[in-house]
Amino acid sequence: MTAVELDGIWKRFPGVIANAGASLTVAPGSVHAVLGENGAGKTTLMNVLAGVYRPDEGTVRLDGVEQSFSKPADAIAAGVGMVYQEFRLIPTFTVTENVALGSAPAVLSKSSMEKQVGELAERFGLHTEPGREVWQLSMGERQRVEILKALWRNAQVLILDEPTAVLTPNEAAELGRITATMAAEGRSIIFISHKLDEVKTFCDEATVLRGGKTVASSLSVDDLDAGRMAELMVGEATAVSQRRVRTTVVGERVLDVDNIIVHDIHGRAVVNDVSLVVGRGEIVGIAGVAGNGQRPLADAIAGLRQASTGTVSVTHTDITGMDARTRNSHGLAYVPEDRIGVGLAPRMNAIDNAIMRNYRTLGDGPLIDFGQAESRAASLIERYNIKVGRVDQPLAGLSGGNLQRLLVGRELDDEPVVLIAAQPTRGLDVQGVKAIQDILVEQATDGVGILLISEDLEELFALSDRLLVMHEGAVVGEFDPDTATRQEVGAAMAGAHASEGSAH
Amino acid sequence: MIIAGILGDLQVLLTDTGMWVNLLEFGILLYLAALGEVIAEKAGVLNLGVEGMMAVGALTGYWAGIQTGSPWAAAVIAALAVAIFAMVHGVVSVVMGADQVVSGLALTILGLGLAAFLGTDLVSQPSGAKFSDLSLGALGDIPGVGPTLFSMDGMGWVALALGFITWFVLNRTRVGLNLRAVGESAATADAAGTPVVATRLVAVAIGGAFAGLAGAYLTLKVTPSWNESIVGGLGWIAVALVIFGAWRPGRVLIGALLFGGLIAVGPRFQTRRCNGDEITDCITTEINPIVVSMLPYALTIAVLVLLSIRSRNRPSVAPAAIGQAYRREER
């Protein structure tokens, strides 16, 4: 007997085949990993199971019974719950209202519903406060509300789409306990991931997708190792991130950040007295769970956000009072975390985006020389191997990797001395990640000082010369990637050092 | 001297029973229209057609009053007529997904024009039905509230009842939970199995019915006559009132009475001004009534500013999906 059976699923979108005969079999009472690169068709396949997409071909069976879902509500009714990466909660609703939405009694009794939600949460070890509004909750708590939503509808199959991406290591471990509790009750959990360690810890079996097809189904996780997993996912035995061999000697300081404090509108210090230096040719990594001040720090250095106190200098020139453009002209380049929106304007074309930083140097006075602009764009496209259909079309249709290469290329076009790169490889596929990492290493070799902010520990360990950890706005630890362990860094990310009181 | 003058004026106004009666009438009218708009906006549909819907309601109510002789029958007919009229906005903005602002403004222009055109013959006709004040026996003898609150007509009590029902349904029932979810995040509500388009259409229809009642109340009670400019901006005040009341039926009631008071007071700065020979029981302060009639909007802007200061980090009190057409992301 199988809890879930997806067989020969085809799903085509205009210009893309997302699933090309993919299959998946999940046993009842198990935690099943679905692995694959970005674009391998994992999310599409899960959306077929969750009733969001109708497959062009193929069958969906639950407990051996064939299903035909025409909308998500059908899948929910059949016992399939899905927790998306972007939570689908209503911030102004309470936990209880969010959980009960769609299956509430005709007349709501606040107290009895909150009691029921509290009891359900307790049964599965999901700590939550039923009466609080969701906007007040942390990411981990919000995820628990999403899981509660599914359990409230008595989901027998729960799909978790990259659930640990927003969690601290502790919260991730807790999620592992929760999925184990659910599995022990006979429910099936499908765990989408590309992190080997958590797949090995949390899951029983794994199915690997590549190019919309299933390339390995229901492997025991004990048979998986990093090399085999990468081979299955990418199709060739490429090594996971290789530790960079430094070829340059770290030179003079190019970036000096002294005692920066950034307040949010409530007067809370979101960056709390951070000082750091980056030398010529050095890559300084900043690790931390999302939302611990990395973004306001990067924005404050780049001039997109006002620091309350502290100074920022680039090659010993104080740039603290300058706006973003002037900082840029002093050799500071910034690849922001939001590559679409902050970094690039998706409705504008490749030329406009390519010259956004230095259009003032093209042409005379108020006029832009678009001939020059076009050749500037063309040289970026060639140098960074960016695949754009036409340079005068909006960027919107480009893949993440191409967008990021355009953004990074533009920022490097004026030969900066310092590059702030925030989450530069997030959401890219393996080739895309490698291309960006190669560019970063090449730039460091050429003497650019790089501040690399990332949530990907492997990337930080592979690329950084030094590794700083941020927690609650402060730098709580510095590590040498050659000698430090993942556990030490993970503990610092979770605030272990801060709680000892040494870093405040 | 000045303070004594202002206090004196205040006393003149507050002891003016006619002012209180007008305050209640305009308060009831604004409350009905704004409640309807609360329902539509809570479902995520901004309807800027209130002014036009009220014009249609006012005309239909007046006409039906002449035909039936019953203010209640006339009010119900007006409510139904405007519920149907509001479906223009429902179909264009909810079903077809056109811009809600443009569609709502078009509804206002259409409603004003339609009422003016269809009502040409009614301008000279006398009123056929009028809401009469309800006598609540001994309660009517209480000084102050007796001749005002406890003597108001049945529509006043209906408005209060609708206010309570609206609050209860929105906050204490599954239907209300679903409706609010549709207005906060249509995709989330859809995923939870709530029919988004149907919910929004019903909300727009109810909003229209309430605006129809408000319009009918205007020509069946407040100013029992018909002319094409009779609504005169009351619909816009109702739209502002929704924001002023932060989309809450209770607060909207307070705002309706406050705005109703301003409308009632405004003309009195002119009609009851002291003129030389008369020096008692008249108003000494010189304020242009136009300034008073701007106050509802000024107060609404003040509330918007206060709300934005308070809510920088927390979600806005406005329904998050307001103004957004919803189309299921089926690819």
CB of A53 less than 8 A from some CB of B: yes
Distances (CA, A) of A149 to A89, A430, B44, B175: 10, 33, 23, 18
Q: Is B161 exposed, middle or buried (0-12, 13-18, 19+ CB in 10 A)?
A: exposed
Say which residue, B292 or B208, is predicted with more confidence.
B208
Nearest to residue B178, comparing CAs of B209, B148, B162, B200?
B200
Three-state DSSP state, A299: helix
Binary contact (B331, A13; C-beta < 8 A): yes
Identify whether the C-beta of residue A207 lies closer than 8 Å to the C-beta of residue A216. Answer: yes
Task: Compute the nearest-CA separation of A3 from chain B (Å).
Answer: 22
Task: Compute the nearest-CA separation of A42 from chain B (Å).
Answer: 16
To test the contact with chain B by mutation, choose from A56, A92, A107 the residue with the greatest count of B C-beta atoms within 10 A, namely A92
Answer yes or no: is pLDDT of B331 > 90.
no
Close Cβ partners of B215 (under 8 Å, ≥ 6 residues apart) = B33, B53, B54, B55, B56, B57, B58, B59, B60, B61, B78, B82, B231
Domains in chain A (CATH in brackets) are 4-234 (3.40.50.300), 253-348+416-499 (3.40.50.300)
pLDDT-derived band at A236 (thresholds 50, 70, 90) equals: low
pLDDT-derived band at A219 (thresholds 50, 70, 90) equals: confident
Q: Where are the beta strands (DSSP E) in A162-314?
A: 188-193, 205-210, 213-220, 253-263, 269-279, 283-287, 309-314
pLDDT-derived band at A242 (thresholds 50, 70, 90) equals: low
Torsion of CA A228, A230, A231, A233, to 10 degrees: 120
CB of A266 less than 8 A from some CB of B: yes
Quick one: pLDDT at residue A500?
39
d(CA A189, CA A89): 21
Which residue in chain A has the smallest CA separation from B185?
A: A90
Quick one: pLDDT at residue A502?
38
ipTM, 2 dp: 0.85
d(CA A126, CA A178): 7
The alpha carbon of residue A77 and the mean position of all alpha carbons in its chain are separated, in whole angstroms, by 31
Answer yes or no: is pLDDT of B321 > 70.
yes
Quick one: pLDDT at residue A239?
43
Which residue in chain B has the smallest CA separation from A89?
A: B188
Three-state DSSP state, B313: coil
Quick one: pLDDT at residue A14?
65
Task: Compute the nearest-CA separation of A315 from chain B (Å).
Answer: 37
Supply φ then ψ for residue A357, to 5 degrees: -80, -40
- What is the rounded average pLDDT of the residues B288-309? 81
To test the contact with chain A by mutation, choose from B165, B168, B188 the residue with the greatest count of A C-beta atoms within 10 A, namely B188
Per-residue pLDDT reduced to its tens digit, A454-497 = 988 888 999 999 999 998 899 999 999 888 887 788 778 777 65
Per-residue pLDDT reduced to its tens digit, B12-45 = 888 888 889 899 999 999 999 999 999 999 999 9
Number of H helices, E strands in chain A: 17, 20
Binary contact (B331, A72; C-beta < 8 A): no
- What is the rounded average pLDDT of the residues A370-396? 86
Per-residue pLDDT reduced to its tens digit, B202-226 = 999 999 999 999 999 999 999 999 9
- By Cβ distance, the residue of B171, B181, B331 closest to A101 is B181
Quick one: pLDDT at residue B141?
77
Quick one: pLDDT at residue A458?
82
- Spell out which residues of chain B touch residue A13, defining contact as CB-CB under 8 Å: 331
Quick one: pLDDT at residue A139?
81
Answer yes or no: is pLDDT of B152 > 90.
no
Which residue in chain B has the smallest CA separation from A98?
A: B181
Binary contact (B173, A135; C-beta < 8 A): no
Quick one: pLDDT at residue A496?
66
Quick one: pLDDT at residue A490?
76
- Spell out which residues of chain A touch residue B178, defining contact as CB-CB under 8 Å: 101-102
Quick one: pLDDT at residue A498?
42
- What is the rounded average pLDDT of the residues A212-237? 77
d(CA A208, CA A384): 31
Per-residue pLDDT reduced to its tens digit, B44-89 = 999 999 999 999 999 999 999 999 999 999 999 999 999 999 999 9
Residue whose entry in the numeric block shows the structure tokens 């049945």: B154
Element spanning A8, H or E: strand A4-13
- What is the rounded average pLDDT of the residues A311-335? 93
Least confident interval from A10-14, A185-189, A205-209, A284-288: A10-14
**Mean pLDDT across chain A:** 86
Say which residue, B202 or A172, is predicted with more confidence.
B202
Task: Compute the nearest-CA separation of B313 from chain A (Å).
Answer: 8
pLDDT-derived band at B278 (thresholds 50, 70, 90) equals: low
Answer yes or no: is pLDDT of B174 > 90.
yes
Spell out the CATH class of B17-271+287-310. Answer: mainly alpha
pTM score: 0.76
Close Cβ partners of A57 (under 8 Å, ≥ 6 residues apart) = A8, A9, A10, A21
Binary contact (B192, A13; C-beta < 8 A): no
Find residue A418's DSSP bridge partners.
A332, A449
Per-residue pLDDT reduced to its tens digit, A90-140 = 999 999 999 999 888 899 888 999 999 999 999 888 888 999 999 888 888
> Which strands form A269-279's sheet, in the order they lie side by side?
A269-279, A253-263, A309-314, A317-318
pLDDT-derived band at A238 (thresholds 50, 70, 90) equals: very low
pLDDT-derived band at B277 (thresholds 50, 70, 90) equals: low
Exposure string of A388-414, with b = 16+ CB inside 10 Å and e = fewer, is beebeeebeebebbbbbbbbbbbbbbe
- Spell out which residues of chain A touch residue B331, defining contact as CB-CB under 8 Å: 13, 53
**Mean pLDDT across chain B:** 89
d(CA B148, CA B26): 13
d(CA A410, CA A263): 30
Delimit the domains of chain B by residue range.
Answer: 17-271+287-310
> Which strands form A65-67's sheet, in the order they lie side by side?
A16-26, A4-13, A57-62, A65-67
Per-residue pLDDT reduced to its tens digit, A430-460 = 778 888 999 999 999 999 999 999 988 888 9
- What is the rounded average pLDDT of the residues A283-292? 87
d(CA A148, CA A133): 15
Torsion of CA B2, B5, B10, B11, to 10 degrees: 150
Distances (CA, A) of B92 to A307, B54, B106, B281: 47, 19, 10, 54
Task: Compute the nearest-CA separation of B39 from chain A (Å).
Answer: 17
d(CA B205, CA B85): 8
- By Cβ distance, the residue of A53, A102, A108 closest to B192 is A102
Quick one: pLDDT at residue A401?
82
